[in-house]
């Protein structure tokens, strides 16, 4: 049995929400360990953020809660996060966290979060599954509900 297939398998469902962009935002994730049947939900938010930042934060929060190297299927409705991890990260790193815009290099938006996510991705064997948001996918709907509730707490506080 290879090292990768002997790793524990975890499914991580994520979503982010924002009330205004920028505005009060929330993130949520569900960590499911199919072998044991255990599942845990997490959510939080920020007073002034963007939807993309909250989508990134949801994945960061989920991966940071894993205590050991795992095979992780990340289920998200964010093409931004999935495409960024699959296609853009290596080029950004090679270019010093800059991306091409026309003929010049400009700083990557949300570089601090992308860098944190990059470190977490290197600790695990990760693959992404992109689902369509707001189409009745039970875990995506639950994450959306938790993320929206977190954003609302910031919208109505001080």
15 is catalytic: yes
Catalytic member of 15, 46, 61, 139? 15
CA atoms within 13 A on the CB side of 115: 11
112 is catalytic: no
Catalytic member of 3, 4, 102, 134? 134
Our separate counts of H helices and E strands in the chain read: 6, 7
16 is catalytic: yes
Catalytic member of 46, 55, 61, 139? 55
In whole angstroms, what is the distance from residue 134 CA to residue 78 CA? 12
118 is catalytic: no
Work out the number of other CB atoms within 10 angstroms of the CB of residue 88. Answer: 14
Catalytic member of 16, 25, 44, 84? 16
**Where are the strands (E) in the chain, listed by range?**
9-18, 23-33, 38-49, 71-76, 98-101, 104-107, 125-130
In whole angstroms, what is the distance from residue 150 CA to residue 125 CA? 29
Catalytic member of 25, 46, 61, 77? 77
Please identify every residue annotated as catalytic: 15-16, 55, 77, 134, 144
């Amino acid at each position: 049995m290879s090292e990768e297939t002997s790793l524990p398998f975890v499914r991580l469902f994520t979503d982010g929400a924002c009330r205004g962009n920028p505005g009060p935002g929330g993130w949520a994730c569900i960590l499911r360990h199919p072998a044991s049947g255990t599942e845990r939900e997490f959510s939080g938010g920020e007073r002034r953020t963007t939807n993309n930042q909250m989508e990134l934060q949801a994945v960061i929060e989920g991966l940071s809660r894993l205590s050991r190297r795992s095979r992780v299927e990340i289920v998200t409705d964010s093409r931004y996060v999935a495409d960024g991890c699959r296609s853009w990260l290596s080029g950004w790193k090679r270019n010093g966290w800059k991306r091409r815009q026309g003929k010049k290099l400009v700083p990557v938006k949300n570089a601090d979060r992308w860098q944190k996510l990059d470190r977490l991705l290197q600790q695990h064997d990760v693959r992404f599954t992109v689902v369509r948001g707001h189409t009745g996918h039970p875990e995506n709907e639950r994450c959306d509900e938790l993320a929206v509730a977190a954003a609302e707490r910031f919208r109505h506080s001080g």
